Structure formats: C-alpha cells, structure tokens
Amino acid sequence: MTYSLKENERIDDLQRCGYKIIQDPGKFCFGMDAVLLAGFAKAEASDCVLDLGTGTGIIPLLMEARYHCAQLTGLEIQPESADMAARSVALNGLSDRIRIVTGDIKEADSLFASASFDCVTCNPPYMIGNHGMKNPNAPKAVARHELLCTLEDVVRQTARLLKPGGHFFLVHRPFRLAEIMVTLTNYKLEPKRMQLVYPYVDREPNMVLLEAVRGGRSRMTVEKPLIVYREKGVYMPEIYDIYGY
C-alpha cells in the first residue's frame, strides 16, 4: 500500500527508529496516554500483538519500534482512522509486520481466532455518559466516550483472544479503578502490575496503567508513581525517556 496525505493531514515524527505518523488535528491526534501505555507494555520479538481501538495506529508503531514484534494488528472501527493508520504503516515500510483491520471491538472474536495473541493492548474510551461531549458522531467523541463499546466489551474480547498466560496492557482513569479490577477478575484476567500516573507530584493521579495475565495467579505489584511534569512545560526525566527524546 502506498501513502498520501489528505486535506488537513500532517506527518509527525515519533522519535523512535525514524518512524512517523499521519494525523489530522481536526479529528483526533494521539495523546500522552497512548505513549505511556506503549512504554508500560512489554513484549517479546516473537509475540503476536493486538491493539484494540488503535485509532491512527500509534501503539502498534511504538510497540514495533520498541520490541520488533513478529506481528502486530490494530483494530479500529472508524474507517477514516483505520485508513490513516494503514497509510502510516505504509509510510514507515512496515506493512509486512503491522496489519490494520477495520472492525468493531465487540465483534473482535469473529475477526480473529480465539487464543491467538500473546499480548493485547488497549487505550479505550474513558468516559461514561455524555460528560463534555458536544458531537456524539465526531471521531474525538467516539475515542473518548463509551459510545461504541464499553470497558466490559474490551475485557470480554481480550479474554477470548489472549492465549493462556497472555498479557493485557490497559491505560484508563483512576476513578474507574474498582470497576476495572472487578471486570478483569470476572473474565479471569488477573491484575499483575499497576502504575499510577500523576501530572505533578502534588496532584491526584489522572491515569492508571495496568497489566493483567489470562489465568494468572493472584498477586499484584504496584510500581512507583510516574510523575509527568517537574514544572509547567518541563517533563520529568522518565517521561523524556519514554518519548525517546
């Protein structure tokens, strides 16, 4: 597949392996949560990885840059975003390693074989209801609000698609942490590792990174907090490392 830019699109440098990504600022651009999830996730070079709700393909690109996984797949329901992701894959010459599939997370088990992935990643919609939503049909609304899938949809499909002992990596909001833990354990995805992300050292956390294992034993490690900013506009050293600066 060749790539080309459409109206209002731009090419951004990912600071990893020379990779770049095509984005449209008027529709949706990846955020820090996706970058932190890719930094938190772990994979082997032999792994097959699935990213649910891949948007413009940022997480498969970053995971390939970090781990050079055997096969990465991004599933995205919005055709425009999926097309942008596929063109970014072509732009980086990665069409033999990264596949973008247009489809619904709720139907993922009909698109892929059961227990066929070593790792699943997901940066899902965080918000319930219509809080802060202006246009329910806009790409940003679909990415941020549970309009087309719920947390349980994501977890249910992950449990079906992960191999036994496979790893699930998720970024979400701390205010839903109790619900997340219950939902994971209901589907035999045992929480194994957690890290809270704080915008500043004296603020409440605004993100949580989680790793769960299909059929894992009940024991979880809570990693040291990840602080984003030393001061306004200045990242902490750990953040610069994750971004690759």
Residue 131 belongs to domain with CATH number: 3.40.50.150
Cβ pair 80, 27 in contact under 8 A: yes
**Does the residue 180 lie in any domain?**
yes
Measured CA to CA, the distance from residue 214 to residue 221 in angstroms comes to: 16
Cβ pair 197, 205 in contact under 8 A: yes
> What is the CB neighbour count within 10 angstroms for residue 150?
16
**Does the residue 20 lie in any domain?**
no
- Domains held by the chain: number: 1
Q: What is the pLDDT of residues 130-146, one digit of tens each?
A: 555 445 555 555 556 55
β partners of residue 177:
none
Question: What is the structure's pLDDT at 134?
Answer: 46
The one-digit pLDDT tens for each residue of the chain (245 residues) are 556 799 899 999 998 899 999 999 888 889 999 999 999 999 999 999 999 999 999 999 999 999 999 899 999 999 999 999 999 999 999 999 999 999 999 999 999 999 999 999 999 987 676 555 445 555 555 556 556 789 999 999 999 999 999 999 999 999 999 999 999 999 999 999 999 999 999 999 999 999 999 999 999 999 999 999 999 989 999 999 998 76
Q: Backbone phi, then psi, for 49, in 5-degree steps?
A: -120, 135
Question: What is the structure's pLDDT at 3?
Answer: 67
**Does the residue 155 lie in any domain?**
yes
**Does the residue 242 lie in any domain?**
no
Q: Output the six-digit token pair for 212.
A: 């769960």
Question: What is the structure's pLDDT at 127?
Answer: 67
**Does the residue 43 lie in any domain?**
yes
Question: What is the structure's pLDDT at 130?
Answer: 56
Question: What are the strands, taking DSSP E only, across 68-141?
Answer: 71-76, 98-102, 117-122
Exposed / middle / buried, residue 188 (Cβ in 10 Å: 0-12, 13-18, 19+): middle
Q: HSE of 235 in the Cβ direction (CA atoms, 13 Å)? A: 12
Q: Output the six-digit token pair for 64.
A: 């390939």
Question: What is the structure's pLDDT at 221?
Answer: 97
| Domain of residue 218, residue span | 27-223
Measured CA to CA, the distance from residue 116 to residue 169 in angstroms comes to: 16
**Does the residue 233 lie in any domain?**
no
**Does the residue 140 lie in any domain?**
yes
Measured CA to CA, the distance from residue 22 to residue 141 in angstroms comes to: 20
Q: What is the pLDDT of residues 99-131, one digit of tens each?
A: 999 999 999 999 999 999 999 999 998 767 655
Question: What is the structure's pLDDT at 105?
Answer: 96
**Does the residue 244 lie in any domain?**
no
Question: What is the structure's pLDDT at 120?
Answer: 98
